[in-house]
Amino acid sequence: MKYEMVAGFETHIELATNTKIFCSCTTQFGGDPNTHCCPICIGLPGTLPKLNKQVIKYAIMAGLATNCEIANISKMDRKNYCYPDLPKAYQISQYDKPLCEHGYVQLSSGKKIRLTRIHIEEDAGKLIHKRGDTYVDYNRGGVPLIEIVSEPDIRSVEEAKEYVEKLQQIMRFIGISDCKMQEGSMRCDVNISVRPEGSDKLGTRTEIKNMNSITFIGRAMEYEFQRQVDLIESGGQVEQQTLRYDDVSNTTSSMRGKEDANDYRYFRDPDLVTISVTDEEIDELRKQIPELPFQKAERYVKEFGMNEKDAQNISKYRRIAEFFEEASDGVKTPKTVSNFIIGQIFRRLETEDDKEKFDIAITAQQLKELVKLIDEGKVKNNLAKSTLEKMLDTGKSVTEFISESDMAGMDEGTLAELCKKAVEANPKAVADYKAGKVKALKSMVGFVMKESRGKADASAAEAKILEIIS
Amino acid sequence: MESKIRHYSNMLKNREITCQELTEKYLAGIDTSNKDLNAYVTVTAEAAIEAAKKVDEKLSRGEEISQLEGIPMTLKDNISTKGIETTCCSKILEGYKPIYNATVWETLQAQGAVLLGKTNMDEFAMGSSSETSYYGGASNPHNINHVAGGSSGGVASAVGGNIAVYGLGSDTGGSIRQPASFCGIVGLKPTYGAVSRFGLIAYASSFDQIGPITTTVEDSAIVYDAISGYDKMDSTSQGRKGAPTMDTLKNDIKGMKIGIAREYLEGVRDDVRVCIEKACEVYKSLGAEIVYFNLPALKYALPVYYILACAEASSNLGRYDGIRYGYRTDAYKDVNEMICKTRSEGFGDEVKRRIMLGTYVLSAGYYDAYYKKAQNLRGSIVNAFKNAFKSCDVILAPTVPMTAFEKGNAISDPIETYLTDICTVPVNIAGLPGVSIPCGFSENGLPIGMQLIGNTFCESTILNAAWQYENAVGSEVFKASEYGVKL
């Protein structure tokens, strides 16, 4: 029998606010243990939380960018559980009235992964195990999070990866999180089950906790899918449980079963008042949502005639898209700009992280100067390419490498002189051409280009040579 | 009755006594009386003298002082004081010294208040006799074989016993008004949100409110005006609405409608009811009108209170795990055992009882039957009061259906003791202001109290009505105990 994977995601994303969700401590990653803390975020007796308004704004922006409905009225609840990294013994979260509901993320296939909800909550601290002892660092405690819960709409590892990448792109584009999985500012719990292909029933699911890399998400899902299929094939049953994934052995193992599931005793946090957001405030935030990657890609294809793949590659990273748009603003051929970026600049940005940072030596304006010279016919393609390399090496402008006289091109007389020289120096090519080998003409044009160090216009040279030999 | 605060303040201003002398007198009073009263659990003598000296320096420079400046006072042990042990009278917070000040203490300190020390209370404010305190109960200054009440028993004992001019307590289900009633003094529970809770160690967050315990109504008004106000650190705070209560304290009450809800008088001891009836006569003579009505929703008040307050407490008290501060058990194998043993050894029986009750009512499968139902009923009680205030300005009711318990009785029968909160909890459920003032004595000489309940943020109205009563009956019922300092 063939089986189908059914998966849904719970994704935690740390918001890039300056201060924590309920106090004014910094949210900066790292720092010596317990230096980004105050009486409020370590939950000293008598302290009270005060909700950071920026958190609400960012969460609403996340909701708007993923097509959610935004609740005008919502509230904060307490999720009670006891763990040393949670200093109040409850996490302030949202239970039955989340800020955002009923959204979706659209994959490149056009398929929509529905989002059940997005809610805000506080992060916990961290346990550090050292020399047989356990220490607690509360620096991360109280850092604002959004939790994005999807419906079980994902059917393959590929869809899962694309879903996570899309979320990452969207959140980075709207500027509410850096979504660095390796630093934990984006973490995924994967709910996964299997069922015979064609069935519309849901199987018993397991939950793989705290995945912090897209590659591992893929591997863990593949492993867990196969494990569940094998179990069913051999007559067993999948047990509802929480799993952890070990990336070294590439296996999942049980953290706790259904019977050990926590009863969180949710109830409304009496220390915080109702969150009310007006339609006007929501509209104001809607205006702040920039054009998103897939919208950009669509536009690049339509307006600039770029192919879809190039359009996606350019629009995927916020800084690159911005660079592209600035450099191509007012030029005749935006495609030239995208070709330079994908062809030459990408070669210098090997990793995803490099592309995200987009740390290159030249500005968009500098690239634009170069492209404009091409547009105006002042610089030929070959020269432009080599010049761009020099610019990228040094950060200097095009005028540093190409002089006014280079740009002026070549006068008729000089070109005619060079062509004559080319004909004289290549009698064999002339003979070959006359014998019908059209290609032989190219070698003479090459001679001219080389002699002129790229200054000559290749098509003009070709015409001139033809004129001489015929 | 003359305001004690104003009296002392004038003595200081007129240089009849130095602040240091005044403070030393009170510290000496604590020395002699605290053995009997057990009102203080921490005395901050040195800091008090330091603060007093500063006031004296100011006076000797000829500078003006504010009304509360230099007046010796106390705080309940659940109000956070930087560098001064704040234990909620629980073993689990033994040795805990906060690193920040509660907003109320910050405010009073800025006004030059002289803190004598921290006062006794029921552990985590859970109790009606202050006997659940880890340090033993506080005694009633009118008869030390009886309790001072609770949970702010220490403040009431200290103020009633004249070893503090005034004090701040907290009231979750009657914890200011009940001990004030037992000790024959004045206790004001403000509207929820009128006084900042920041720094008040939480028992039940949606009920808790800080308020003054004083010997006179005017003192209550002075302290309330000083501590009420919006605090950005407390999201539920709204501050005082309208003018200071002192502005209208002594206004005429002709035509004021005083409501009596019949349910409040059910099951009340005869001598208490007689006192309430007499008070009605006093009010009539002052030109007020007495109106009677029913408040049937009151019968749900006790279960609603105990379900919701315990639910919140079970969550609020989860943080005491021995990891960051306070008591930690000696021997343990792992972190789970450490937390279990710390809590088992650190909490007293009453606290454990309420944590278990609260955990139960929030648990999956029981939430709807208990917590949710109680929340809905809370809404009904709020509405019932709202309606009542359409036909009257204040509600007059007993504070407690009886007088102070004999020591040991409350502890031996917790359920019976819960029932004595019947008259005080409705005010907390509805977030209303209520003030308890003395209105008589029982046969055996124990004070009887009555409370005046107002609509939200109508502290001015209830204090006005209270002052007029006090002014009419005077020292007949506002009788000082034999303890402490007399000037």
Q: Which of B207, B335, B428 to mutate to test the interface with A (most CBs of A within 10 A)?
A: B335
The answer on A242 and A163 residing in a single domain is yes
The answer on A220 and A151 residing in a single domain is yes
Q: Which two tokens stand for residue B94?
A: 């033994």
Chain A residues near residue B99 by CB distance under 8 angstroms: 39, 44
Per-residue pLDDT, A405: 60
Residue in chain A nearest B104 by alpha carbon: A46
The answer on A56 and A171 residing in a single domain is yes
Neighbours of A96 (CB within 10 A): 10
* Phi-psi sector, B316: left (phi>0), alpha (psi -120 to 50), beta: alpha
Q: What is the pLDDT of residues B2-44, one digit of tens each?
A: 999 999 999 999 999 999 999 999 999 999 999 999 999 999 9
The answer on A193 and A176 residing in a single domain is yes
Query: Nearest CB to B362: which of A84, A265, A270?
Result: A265
CB B189 within 8 A of CB B171: yes
How many domains, chain A? 3
A42 interface with B at CB cutoff 8 Å:
yes
Chain B residues near residue A48 by CB distance under 8 angstroms: 197-198, 233-236
The answer on A381 and A241 residing in a single domain is no
Cβ distance A48 to B197 less than 8 Å, yes or no, reads yes
A133 interface with B at CB cutoff 8 Å:
no
CATH number at residue A423: 1.10.10.410
Of A380, A407, A434, which closes a domain? Answer: A407
Query: Nearest CB to A84: which of B99, B315, B335?
Result: B335
Of A256, A285, A314, which closes a domain? Answer: A285
CB B130 within 8 A of CB B154: yes
Rounded distance between C-alpha atoms, residue A204 and residue A193, angstroms: 6
The size of the A-B interface in CB pairs under 8 A is 99
pLDDT of A412 over the 80 cut: no
Query: Nearest CB to A46: which of B201, B235, B236?
Result: B201
Hey, which residues of B are catalytic here?
A: 76, 151, 175
CB A27 within 8 A of CB A144: yes
Query: Nearest CB to A51: which of B93, B235, B371?
Result: B235
Q: How far is A235 from chain B (nearest CA, A)?
A: 33
The answer on A350 and A418 residing in a single domain is no
What is the CA A431 to chain-centroid distance, rounded? 57
Q: What is the pLDDT of residues B284-330, one digit of tens each?
A: 999 999 999 999 999 999 999 999 999 999 999 999 999 999 999 99
Chain A residues near residue B79 by CB distance under 8 angstroms: 46
Q: How far is B359 from chain A (nearest CA, A)?
A: 8
Q: Which of B97, B320, B324 to mutate to test the interface with A (most CBs of A within 10 A)?
A: B324
A270 interface with B at CB cutoff 8 Å:
yes
* Phi-psi sector, A84: left (phi>0), alpha (psi -120 to 50), beta: alpha
pTM of this prediction exceeds 0.95:
no
Cβ distance B235 to A89 less than 8 Å, yes or no, reads no
Per-residue pLDDT, B451: 97
DSSP states of A72-123: SEE--EEEE---TT-TTSEEEE-SSS-SEEEEEEE-TTS-EEEEEEEEEEE-
The answer on A453 and A316 residing in a single domain is no
The answer on A300 and A278 residing in a single domain is no
Rounded distance between C-alpha atoms, residue A57 and residue B303, angstroms: 40
Share of chain B above pLDDT 90, in %: 94
Name the band, by pLDDT with cuts 50, 70 and 90, for residue A404: low
Pairing assessment for the beta strands B139-140 and B143-147 based on DSSP bridges: antiparallel
Of A362, A390, A407, which closes a domain? Answer: A407
Per-residue pLDDT, B333: 93
CB B350 within 8 A of CB B123: yes
pLDDT of A457 over the 80 cut: no
Q: Which two tokens stand for residue A392?
A: 């990228």
Work out the average pLDDT over B94-122. 98
pLDDT of A408 over the 60 cut: no
What letter does residue A255 receive in the DSSP assignment?
E
Cβ distance B202 to A82 less than 8 Å, yes or no, reads no
Exposed / middle / buried, residue B475 (Cβ in 10 Å: 0-12, 13-18, 19+) = exposed
The answer on A339 and A241 residing in a single domain is no
Domain of A336 in residue numbering reads as 291-407
Cβ distance A46 to B318 less than 8 Å, yes or no, reads no
Rounded distance between C-alpha atoms, residue B373 and residue B369, angstroms: 6
The answer on A138 and A13 residing in a single domain is yes
Q: Where do the domains of chain B lie, and which CATH numbers do they carry?
A: 4-297+378-476 (3.90.1300.10)
Residue A196's SS3 state is strand
Q: What is the pLDDT of residues A166-188, one digit of tens each?
A: 999 999 999 999 999 988 899 99
* First-residue to last-residue Cα distance in chain B: 15
Cβ distance A39 to B236 less than 8 Å, yes or no, reads no
The answer on A159 and A307 residing in a single domain is no
Rounded distance between C-alpha atoms, residue A269 and residue B205, angstroms: 9
What is the CA B452 to chain-centroid distance, rounded? 15
Query: Nearest CB to A42: which of B80, B324, B371?
Result: B324
Q: Which two tokens stand for residue A45?
A: 């007796």
Per-residue pLDDT, B65: 95
Q: How far is A266 from chain B (nearest CA, A)?
A: 7
The answer on A192 and A70 residing in a single domain is yes
Spatial strand order in the sheet of A3-14: A69-70, A100-106, A112-122, A144-150, A3-14, A186-196, A206-211, A241-246, A251-257
In B171-217, the DSSP E strands lie at 186-189, 210-214
Which has the minimum average pLDDT: A414-418, B15-19, B202-206, B354-358?
A414-418
The interface predicted TM-score (ipTM) is 0.96
What is the CA A454 to chain-centroid distance, rounded? 39
CB B1 within 8 A of CB B217: yes
Q: How far is B235 from chain A (nearest CA, A)?
A: 6
Which has the minimum average pLDDT: A46-55, A366-375, B265-274?
A366-375
Cβ distance A44 to B371 less than 8 Å, yes or no, reads no
Share of chain A above pLDDT 90, in %: 53
Q: Which of A332-346, B378-392, B468-482 has the highest mean pLDDT?
A: B378-392
A47 interface with B at CB cutoff 8 Å:
yes
